[in-house]
Amino acid sequence: MPRGRNAVVLLSGGLDSYTAAAMARADGYRLFALTIEYGQRHAREVEAARKVAAALGVVQHIELAVDLARFGGSSLTTTAPVPKDRPLDAADIPSTYVPARNTVFLALALAWAETLQAADIFLGVNVLDYSGYPDCRPEFIEAFERLAALATARGVGGGAFRVHAPLLKMTKAEIIRAGVALGLDYSLTHSCYDPDPAGRPCHRCDSCRIRAAGFAHAGIEDPLLRR
């Protein structure tokens, strides 16, 4: 039984990581939330993460700056345009892909988890309603768990780390229904890749459109649209 055990939860301020963290809480974990400020254009995301962390009642919330924009390579961290109205079933990897982002995020979560003597990391990745990012796939998660066991003092001592991705095989509509059943307030979250200066979503990037389709399929109104 995990009741009272510590877990590191990666919290982006989006709907998925909020739901994954709430599932960890429902399972009895004490939450240590980690938000990476990686140079994303939408600082609105970090504000949302702060609200979500407070709503979840986490034990501690660390916002860590890691400026991946220094490396370039993504329309999320540079001035390259964010793609709009892109077919969501396109097979290519879009320019919003941030090279090795989830590898960096999980490595940092692992560093904190080992310090906390926590064996559990929660990540809100999802393999169905996603943008084709390679580091959202089950085989990536499994490879990271293997690495974590070899990378750490805990691993040398025979311990392991588990990367929980409870949303991995859920549709966006299923995620939203599960979150609503857990009493989550999705008006706190932010999904848009390219908000206007006031922080309002563009409704045309992949992330806005996947979110809208998810709420529509769930038959639930997105509380962000009521504001």
Judged by the rule CB under 8 A, the positions of this chain that interact with its own copies are 62, 64-68, 70-73, 93, 97-104, 106-108, 110-112, 114-115, 134-135, 137, 139-140, 143-144, 146-148, 150-153, 155-156
Compare residues 62 and 220 and give the one whose CB is closer to its own copies. 62
Compare residues 59 and 107 and give the one whose CB is closer to its own copies. 107
Q: Write phi, then psi, for 82 (nearest 5 degrees).
A: -75, 130
Residue 56, token pair as written in the block: 């979840």
Compare residues 15 and 82 and give the one whose CB is closer to its own copies. 82
Whole-angstrom distance, CA of residue 101 vs CA of residue 68? 8
Compare residues 70 and 227 and give the one whose CB is closer to its own copies. 70
Side-by-side strand order, sheet with 162-164? 60-65, 30-37, 6-10, 120-122, 162-164
Compare residues 7 and 23 and give the one whose CB is closer to its own copies. 7
Minimum distance from residue 103 beta carbon to its own copies (Å): 4
Minimum distance from residue 225 beta carbon to its own copies (Å): 33
Minimum distance from residue 19 beta carbon to its own copies (Å): 23
Minimum distance from residue 70 beta carbon to its own copies (Å): 6
Whole-angstrom distance, CA of residue 153 vs CA of residue 130? 34
Minimum distance from residue 172 beta carbon to its own copies (Å): 22
Whole-angstrom distance, CA of residue 141 vs CA of residue 169? 13
Minimum distance from residue 113 beta carbon to its own copies (Å): 8
End-to-end CA distance of the chain: 40
Diameter over CA atoms, the chain: 52
Instruction: Of 134, 109, 98, 141, give the one whose Cα is nearest residue 10.
Output: 109
C-alpha 33, offset from chain centre: 11
Compare residues 107 and 202 and give the one whose CB is closer to its own copies. 107
Compare residues 116 and 212 and give the one whose CB is closer to its own copies. 116
Whole-angstrom distance, CA of residue 20 vs CA of residue 9? 8
Minimum distance from residue 89 beta carbon to its own copies (Å): 16
Amino acid identity, position 141: I
